[in-house]
Structure 1
Amino acid sequence: MTRCKGMGRTRRTAAVLAAAALLATACSAKGDADPAGGPSPAGDPAAGRNAPSAALAPFYNQKITWTACRQGFECGKIKVPLDYANPGGESIQISVIRLPATGDRIGSILLNPGGPGGSGIEYARAAKSVLTPAVLSRFDAVGFDPRGVGESAPVRCLTGPQLDKFIGLDGTPDTPAEVDALATGAKEFAQGCEAKSAKLLPHVGTADAARDMDVLRAALGDTGLTYLGKSYGTYLGAVYADLFPKNVRALVLDGAVDPALPPVPDVNAAQARGFQVALRSFLADCFTHTSCPFPAKNIDEAQSRIGTMLKNADQTPLRNSTGDTRKIDESWATLGVVTALYDKRSWPVLRVALSQAFKGDGTTLLRLADVLIDRHQDGTYSNQTEANMAINCVDHPYPKTTQAYEQAATAAQKESPLFGAYVMWGSLPCEYWPVPPTGTDKPLKAEGAPPILVVGTQRDPATPYQWAEALAGQLSSGVLLSYDGDGHTAYRTNSTCIDKAVDTYLITQTPPKPNTLCPKVT
């Protein structure tokens, strides 16, 4: 989905409350321009599958100048074409960070946390949590902000107060007037992006980001790409493999998306169902704790109580003790619930947040929401929400009538009463997007690539497990590794089985047996 009403965020350190640990993310709305449909590097269809064209040679031959940037990290930049169809034209800079390997170095491992719009630099800063000591010993951990994101030619659209207003719009409109208000907000978002970032918007698609990754691979001196991508990062990795199959060394795609599905209605509806499943898992666990605010211990009744609280917030906002002026309405409260569903380690925070919300206080839900959308205490935002929208809207064909979103939202609401309409309406700005999409939704095969490891969590709320099955089946060399668990993504979330299989593959290029299932961790 888009609008990034929280459903798209990187795995990051959550300092919201003591129990919040790392909050997993990924806008499951995939995000890739069709690798075959977009322009090939320098207009040469073979360029991505063999050597770079002569026009791209200056980019591929560049060397990174590294400078120390705190805590043992080194920072640098590379240049890439703004438009790969015109590599002799304007260029942009991609910001890069690395943590050098501590042992017998194999090469570099590139990291992407998801989104789209998540900062790979921020993610790499947490490398000691993202990767195991075994992997950190053998690889330089390398993060980069994809084009349009963070420190790499960022897309900008709205001010902080404007984003507050946009995210707080009624995401489940019940009347024509509410639909009109949401449509107006979506249109203003699109217009803001055009006003501030018109030159960038046609060139922030995932296919171009994948091409940037290959330039980065060459600049790092690696003959083959080693990569860990989470959530949307799995799509970026699959697109890379489809464009550059001979340049793949080892790709781990964790929390996979299905590139063949259109975002409206299929992706959004599946994600809404995923959050509904995750909520049921949370509630079943909640009933085992004395701090659970549902004494009846009935999942359906508990879901209904949460739904009533959210609907009531639509009419009478919850109290906000953060000191800012935001009204904690249904949209902000829903976003807070969704945030905690990304990671089982945040469930204790959600128990507290719901207990408070049932008493009229939405402060903890709001703080959770702020973590996911990267809103800072001073009211400013990273550009994650804007980049998320810009990448998604150029990567996929979206409906161009509000009626189509309304019909899709009604259908999704029947399957996922708490999240269906909210997720579906989140893509509405793409109806008004000022540049046309460059991609189509179709399977990616990456024919000729070595084994690619696809990791799926069976009760993943943001990227449903069937998407991992689908991607592993589409890739000509895909190998599925499954985890009987909860939460978004599996690697480094307390499963020794998953971590060992991923580490072995990254270091030795030997994948686990196809369809290996790692047991639930209790």
Structure 2
Amino acid sequence: MRGFARWTALLAAAGLLMTGCSGGSSGDDTSGGRTGRAQPSARSSAAASPLPSSLTSQRLDWGRCRATADFSAPGADWQCATLKVPLDWSKPHGKTIGLALIRAKARGENRIGSLLFNFGGPGSSGVSTMPAYAAVVPLLRERYDLVSWDPRGVGASEGVRCLGDREIQAAEKVDITPDTSAEEQAYLRNATAFGKGCKKDAGELLAHVSTTDTARDMDLMRQVLGDRKTHYFGISYGTQLGGVYAHLFPRNVGRLVLDAVVDPSADTVGHAENQARGFQRALNAYLKSTGQDPGQGSRKIADLLKRLDANPLPTSSRRQLTQALAFIGIVRPLYSKESWPTLTSALDAAVQGDGSELLALADDYNGRDPSGHYGTGTHAQRVISCLDNKQRLTAQKAKKLLPQFERISPVFGPFLGWDTAGWCHDWPVAGLYETPEVSAPGAAPILVVGNTGDPATPYEGTRKMADELGEDVGVMLTWRGQGHGAYGRGSACVDSAVNAYLLSGSVPRNGKVCS
């Protein structure tokens, strides 16, 4: 897939569990307050720790990217380079790691500078996504160098692989909504094995892949690229990264766009509830579009998932459609309204006893290719989110939460309720905070874009982000649409407002709504 379609798929492959990171067998921290904000002294320490000139004065050796269909397309002229950053930002003179960067230089005159992109996850590769996404932003390339990168722990930037392909495929048979003590223990053992695999592969890097680490990388990137201010476009998890960057370096904020906004005020349980609510809303909209009653349609899908829990469906391959794979297959098309007909076909086939289409959707989401090789986006997603999040809910606490999750969504609630305990269960390193600090007093206006029908990052997070960025900083732009994100999804109103802000610095009226 190319252009927007490819971008949608790549975002989807890193979206669902973006904020579902919690869990653990030791401790049961469930406080929902604001006491765990990220490193209160982070901004002052950033200013107080000068970097060695070996980092700030490094010259990027831009060269040809490895040959792929996207990089070698006529007129693509993509360049790649490696940026050195400290492994441990508290020891800037110590060991370094390399971050893979990609750019396409501005085509027109009156160049503004570099425009950095993060496509979400956490765990999405900017190096592989940027060339495809460039088709969505041709106007921006007239005045910006389009720049993205693989954040630390992702892809070509010391990318982490926690399990092998056979182990991942075997784990797809684990019951994600345990009904018995034996299933619960298997669920938690699988989580422990994943964390141990991450520790074995990543080593000391596992404690240095946080959002705060990547925000600091961004500011060094700004300096090395020769930009006075950071201009940035963050999507999905990329909005959290943008908010943390603005908090750490408010005076370096240029023009920042945050699209498909993660709620910075939500803790582990709050994020899981948000996503259950968001995906249920999207499912309701889908069911209405097919002439079905949302309540009845949801119950039918929930019943299908319950049947699969005990009796997986056969497929055209040798694999079976398990409950876990069916769940992911249902989630995948909800990221884009254009994919709803695919969901109809897959559900119809499953009701008739064939799980092949839902399995194909799940494989697409999980980055599994026809040869059985899995991508590592979800591995990076987990190591970053589990380091960011200090909460570790027990299975006992998750079970107590299940009724409220099921009230929010009979389809998505059971999985996301259990996920609060399973995602970071028995994780090898401690998490950093309960919720990220994004307040950015003194920063230039930041454009915060929300879609009322967003399944993965529900619209309520847009207002929370704008409020927490601070008065005269967070500027809200709303689109009444469907799908994950707003820019580049067909709204001329949204696109023109974002383009005007990035290209001419024209800040839209706070609260502007696009229908």
| TM-score, with structure 2 as normaliser | 0.90
Q: Deviations over 1:18-58 (max 9, x none)?
A: xx8985853441889x8851885xxxx53535xx7443432
* Deviation sequence 1:309-343 (CA, Å, 0-9, x none): 2111112212222x3x4321111001011011011
CA pair 513-205 structure 1, distance change in 2 beyond 3 A = same
Equivalence for 2:39: 37
More displaced 10-residue stretch of structure 1: 213-222 or 399-408: 399-408
Other-structure match for 1:311: 306
Contact preservation (8 Å) 2:244, 2:436: no
Distance 1:261 1:229 in 2: 19
Other-structure match for 2:202: 197
Deviations 1:47-91 (A, max 9, x none): 535xx7443432122121111223311011100000011112211
Determine the structure 2 residue equivalent to 1:447.
441
Tell me by how many angstroms 1:15 deviates.
Answer: 11
Q: 1:420 to 1:395 in 2, by over 3 A?
A: same
Aligned counterpart for 1:160 among listed residues 128, 146, 165: 165
Residues 298 and 258 of structure 1, relative CA distance in 2, 3 Å threshold: closer
The equivalent position to 2:46 in structure 1, one of 35, 48, 57, is: 48
CA–CA distance in structure 1, aligned partners of residues 261 and 172 of structure 2 = 26
**Among 248, 251, 254, the residue aligned to 1:246:** 251
Residue 443 of structure 1, CA deviation? 4.7
3-state DSSP class of the match of 2:233? strand
With 22-31 and 332-341 compared, the bigger mean Cα shift is at 22-31
Q: Would the alpha carbon gap of residues 318 and 31 (structure 1) be closer, same or farther in structure 2, given more than 3 Å must change? A: closer
Deviation at 1:162, TM superposition (A): 1.2
Partner of 2:474: 478
Show the counterpart of 1:121. 127
For residue 498 of structure 1, what is the aligned residue in structure 2?
A: 494
Unmatched 5+ residue regions in structure 1?
Answer: 1-10, 288-296
Shift of 1:465: 0.5
Distance 2:442 2:309 in 1: 52
| Equivalent position of 1:272 in the other structure | 276
- Pick one of 406, 414, 418 that aligns with 1:413: 406
Q: How far 1:202 sits from its partner (Å)? A: 0.4
Distance (Å, rounded) in 2 between the aligned partners of 1:439 and 1:21: 27
* Cα distance, 1:13 vs structure 2: 4.3
Change (3 A) 1:168 1:472: farther
Q: Tell me what 1:100 maps to.
A: 105
User: Are 2:455 and 1:461 aligned?
Assistant: yes
Aligned to 1:371: 364
The percentage of aligned residue pairs carrying the same residue is 39
SS at match of 1:75: strand
Q: Aligned letter for 1:235?
A: Q
What's the CA shift for 1:189? 0.9
Instruction: Provide the residue aligned with 2:69 in structure 1.
Output: none
The answer to whether 1:298 aligns with 2:293 is yes
Corresponding pairs, count = 486
Structure 2 SS opposite 1:228: strand
Letter in 2 for 1:312: R
In the TM superposition, what whole-angstrom CA distance separates every residue of 1:150-195 from its partner, at most 9, and x where no partner exists?
A: 1101122100121122244211112222211111111111111122
Q: Distance in 2 between matches of 1:36 and 1:25?
A: 23
Q: Distance in 2 between matches of 1:205 and 1:124?
A: 22
Amino acid at match of 2:64: A
Give, in whole Å, the separation in 2 of the partners of 1:30 and 1:306: 22
In the alignment, the residues of structure 2 paired with residue 35 and residue 61 of structure 1 have an alpha-carbon distance, to the nearest angstrom, of 33
Q: Which residue of 2 aligns with 1:111?
A: 117
- Could you say if the C-alpha distance between residues 15 and 367 of structure 1 is closer, same or farther in structure 2, counting changes exceeding 3 Å? farther
Give the match for residue 209 of structure 1: 214
Distance 2:40 2:94 in 1: 18
Counterpart CA distance in 1 for 2:6 and 2:61 is 32
> Deviation of residue 303 (structure 1)?
1.7
Structure 1 Cα separation of the partners of residues 178 and 104 of structure 2: 47
Q: Distance in 2 between matches of 1:13 and 1:23?
A: 11
Q: For the structure 1 residues 499 and 15, does the alpha-carbon distance in structure 2 shift closer, same or farther, using more than 3 Å as the test?
A: closer
Do the aligned partners of residues 443 and 95 (structure 1) sit closer, same or farther apart at CA in structure 2, a change above 3 Å counting?
closer
Q: Which residue, 347, 350, 353 being the options, matches 2:343?
A: 350
Determine if the alignment matches structure 1 residue 86 to structure 2 residue 86.
no
Superposition RMSD in Å: 2.3
Specify whether residues 475 and 269 from structure 1 end up closer, same or farther in structure 2 by C-alpha distance, changes over 3 A only: same
Asked if the contact 1:480/1:515 (under 8 Å) is kept, the reply is: yes
Q: Is the 8 A contact 1:189 1:429 kept in 2?
A: no
DSSP 3-state at the match of 2:255: strand
Structure 2 gaps of 5+ residues are: 23-35, 66-71
- CA contact 1:39–1:85 (8 Å) conserved in 2: no
Q: Which residue of 2 aligns with 1:232?
A: 237
Instruction: Determine the structure 2 residue equivalent to 1:293.
Output: none
Which of 491, 510, 516 in structure 1 is aligned with 2:512? 516
Q: Structure 1 pair 415/93, CA: closer, same or farther in 2 (3 Å)?
A: same
> What's the CA shift for 1:399?
2.3
Partner of 2:59: 63
Give the conservation status (yes or no) of the 8 Å contact 1:98–1:140.
yes
Report if the CA contact (8 A) 1:207-1:239 is conserved: yes
Q: Any conservation in 2 of the 1:154–1:387 contact (CA below 8 Å)? A: yes
Q: Is the 8 A contact 1:101 1:136 kept in 2?
A: yes
Q: Contact 2:20–2:416 (CA<8 Å) still a contact in 1?
A: no
